[in-house]
Structure 1
Amino acid sequence: MRVFADFHIHTGAAKGRPVKMAASHQLTVAASLDWAARVKGLHVAGLIDAVCDPVLNEIRDLCRSGHLTPVSGGGLMYQASLLVVLGAEVEVRVSNHGAAHFGCWLPTVEAAADFQTWLKTVQSNTGLSSQVARVDPTRLADEVRARGGIFVVHHAFTPFKGLLGSAVARVAEVMPLEALDAVELGLSADADMADRLEEMRHCTLLSNSDAHSLSSIAREFNVLALNELSFEDIRHALHRRGGRSVVANLGLYPPLGKYYRTRCRSCGQVVTSESCGCGASRSVVQGVWDRIEALADQDMPVHPPWRAPYHYIVPLSLIPGVGPRTYVKLLEAFGGEAQLWFDPPSEPALAEVIGPKLAARVSAALNGRLSMSPGGAGHYGRVELV
């Protein structure tokens, strides 16, 4: 079966308490699951703050009310169509240069609760997302694995809290590659960029949204081939077992990411060194493209034969002219947004729904005929369609 999956969805608030400080308070557990299933058309949603105290309590309430039901192979089922994966994003200081975020996915509520109990011994506040843990990455991976979990590097190449973005030059400097189940690329990177590093050719790559709002859910997602919707089948897919696999990554054009190029926060200019002509050297933020240029083992990517193809998308909300009414029309006519991107309708079919002029623009975006200005220093790139 073909499955659309986004494994990195944050929770803004739960039980009346903030969880992810930078996320929208509208991003609740209930709203996230409804949006992921009904609007985005996902089959798997990873709640990456599920181990935080108030979120885990809400999940228990949803289980007691029957809105979430356990799946025999792990995970929880929502409305008979969306598999919910429980997770934690944990920050670990890995070098003198900085800290990195890791994704810890757990198969059951009981495993999540047990992992939370352990986290309380190494974290000061398990009520908030992405908190620092007094532990090394290998020990963290061992604790996840001991509870039947899956361990992932989050947004590997981003300048803030990305393992390779600023903290270290190679994963092997801090942990064995065998301890990882997958590496999440992050919004400003793609498979071509990652596979210029020899180390990455041994890793399954994921493209997840790192959603901080409802609208950003599935702005990047994965297509998996599974036998059934379950946590264990996802594990098999990450390791290409028994016909399960990641068959496609769908993600933003890297230039749309807010950390694509090295930019100066003060003047906004793309810069090619650690200083800027405006004199505000401390405002320069290294971009993902520039970081990979510095780390790369090869000038061109060398993909392993099993690497999933990477397809570029632009969220419908970023296409000029697509407002709320047009967005609803597209979803009603063609299904969830994930389906639209994976199997784009023809321009004539779009024209019947939204008119020929806008249909030409949407079709250009769906099929990669667009131009854009690159992002950097915390500012997203812009789509420039004609």
Structure 2
Amino acid sequence: MNSYFADMHIHIGRDMYGKPVKITASKSLTLTNILEEASRNKGIDMIGVIDCHAPAVQQEIKQLINAGRAYELQDGGIRFENVVLVLGSEIEIYDENCQGPIHILAFFPTLSKIEVFSEWLAMNMKNITLSSQRYYGSAKELQYKVKELEGLFIPAHVFTPFKSLYGKGVIKSLREVFDPDLIDGIELGLSSDTSMADQISELHDYTFLTNSDAHSLPKIAREYQEITMLEPSFKEFNWSLHRVAGREIKRNFGMNPQLGKYHTTVCSSCLRELPVNALACKSCGCEKIIKGVFDRIQELDDGKFNPKNRPPYLYQVPLEYLPSLGPKTMQKLLHRFGTEMNVIHHASIEQLRQVVPEKLAHSIIQLREGELRIHAGGGGRYGSIETS
């Protein structure tokens, strides 16, 4: 059994024709650029691209396969250089039960399976070419279709104040919306971690995922997991979610929840931090309050914390968060160590000192060990770090 790094929530900004897929994502975030960045610079072994339902994205995959640059694996997934692509789709649900919108992730083993899914989705969605579009149907019907096609079903960034399972404050249990037996894992999101999520007992039996939700190339692998598998593939990923035959999530790597942009409750206008029961902002008078993830989880806490069988959740921040690490210095590090994963996980302090100044080398080690000081974020504004 081996260990592999995986980031399973990456968006596509533009398709092969230059047309938008995720409108808010970077234009440079094309499928080919994502694969090359993950393989050559990030050092991520497996990625989930969650806009693969778009027909033009599927065409680009076929183009890479026909050019001999990629190939389908017998156990599911697409191999490109040193990375395996798992074909995914992010979908927005809003039915009479969920009082949405709620985002979910669906993953499929083969190109043919996701093509069938896209054909079905096009009958239940206005614009199949775009990311995270609204699906017109019930959540359970969507679950049944995903399972019919041998796919995986994972609620996305479940505590985010907007477009998530628990975030709006309306839903108290996933059973109000989903068939709990047809959920394969739970994605936590940037403003929460394992210990926070485990305050909700109905989540105890699910595997937790930490993913980047990347909207640009540098954001790939800002959160990720280390997975124990024989090799990266759809089947092995599926088995790791259900802890089959030694496959499992070995470690989750995520930013300290305080760095997430929705961690604290704030005024939507001036972003002043507020108590959870505030009716209006004392600073500017605004009555629109954005409830933070921390406070939302306290509301959902049912007093049955159960941390057993959870892998370690290790706080890390991406290298790009370090104030003194610019593009030229990053290139020096990549030239010396190959990938960002090698810099973050394997380079010794002595090796780092040979490439970068002492203070920056020390900051990278602090990053690795989760020792950087944090200023909390909220209301759509990310937190920040201090380096000594």
Q: Is 1:270 aligned to residue 273 of structure 2?
A: yes
Q: 1:209 aligns with which of 201, 212, 231?
A: 212
Aligned partner of residue 253 in structure 2, secondary structure: strand
Shift in alpha-carbon separation, 1:179–1:78, aligned structure 2, 3 A: same
1:87-106 residue pairs with structure 2 within 5 A?
A: 87-94=88-95, 95=97, 97-106=99-108
1:198-347 residue pairs with structure 2 within 5 A?
A: 198-272=201-275, 273-277=278-282, 278-282=284-288, 284-298=289-303, 301-304=305-308, 306-341=309-344, 343-347=345-349
**CA displacement at 1:93 relative to structure 2:** 1.1
Aligned to 1:154: 156
Structure 2 gaps, min length 5? none
Under a length normalisation based on structure 1, what TM-score does the superposition of the two structures give? 0.95
1:75-114 residue pairs with structure 2 within 5 A?
A: 75-79=77-81, 81-94=82-95, 95=97, 97-114=99-116
Once the two structures are overlaid, the 10-residue window that deviates more, 228-237 or 183-192, is 228-237
Q: Residue by residue, what CA displacement relative to the aligned partner does 1:148-183 show, whole Å, maximum 9, x if unpaired?
A: 111111111101111111151211111232110000
d(CA) in 2 for partners of 1:3, 1:138: 32
d(CA) in 1 for partners of 2:113, 2:340: 32
Aligned letter for 2:199?
A: R
**How many pairs does the alignment contain?**
381
Aligned partner of residue 240 in structure 1, secondary structure: coil
Aligned letter for 1:297?
A: D
Q: 1:71 aligns with which of 51, 70, 73?
A: 73
Aligned partner of residue 167 in structure 2, secondary structure: helix
**CA displacement at 1:366 relative to structure 2:** 2.1
Q: Residue by residue, what CA displacement relative to the aligned partner does 1:97-132 show, whole Å, maximum 9, x if unpaired?
A: 431001010111100100001001110110100001
**CA displacement at 1:361 relative to structure 2:** 2.4
Cα-Cα RMSD: 1.5
**CA displacement at 1:360 relative to structure 2:** 2.0
Once the two structures are overlaid, the 10-residue window that deviates more, 237-246 or 50-59, is 50-59
Under a length normalisation based on structure 2, what TM-score does the superposition of the two structures give? 0.95
Once the two structures are overlaid, the 10-residue window that deviates more, 88-97 or 225-234, is 88-97
Q: Residue by residue, what CA displacement relative to the aligned partner does 1:234-287 show, whole Å, maximum 9, x if unpaired?
A: 1111000011111111011111111111111322211112421121112x2111
Q: Is 1:185 aligned to residue 188 of structure 2?
A: yes
- Report if the CA contact (8 A) 2:53-2:115 is conserved: yes
d(CA) in 2 for partners of 1:359, 1:248: 24
**CA displacement at 1:96 relative to structure 2:** 6.5
1:47-66 residue pairs with structure 2 within 5 A?
A: 47-66=49-68
d(CA) in 1 for partners of 2:313, 2:374: 19
Structure 1 gaps, min length 5? none
d(CA) in 1 for partners of 2:83, 2:301: 38
- Report if the CA contact (8 A) 2:10-2:212 is conserved: yes
- Report if the CA contact (8 A) 2:184-2:206 is conserved: yes
- Report if the CA contact (8 A) 2:98-2:171 is conserved: no
Q: Residue by residue, what CA displacement relative to the aligned partner does 1:336-379 show, whole Å, maximum 9, x if unpaired?
A: 223433x3533333222212122222222222222121111111
Once the two structures are overlaid, the 10-residue window that deviates more, 149-158 or 330-339, is 330-339
d(CA) in 1 for partners of 2:279, 2:191: 19
d(CA) in 1 for partners of 2:306, 2:343: 30
Shift in alpha-carbon separation, 1:181–1:96, aligned structure 2, 3 A: closer
Aligned letter for 1:208?
A: N
Aligned partner of residue 261 in structure 1, secondary structure: coil
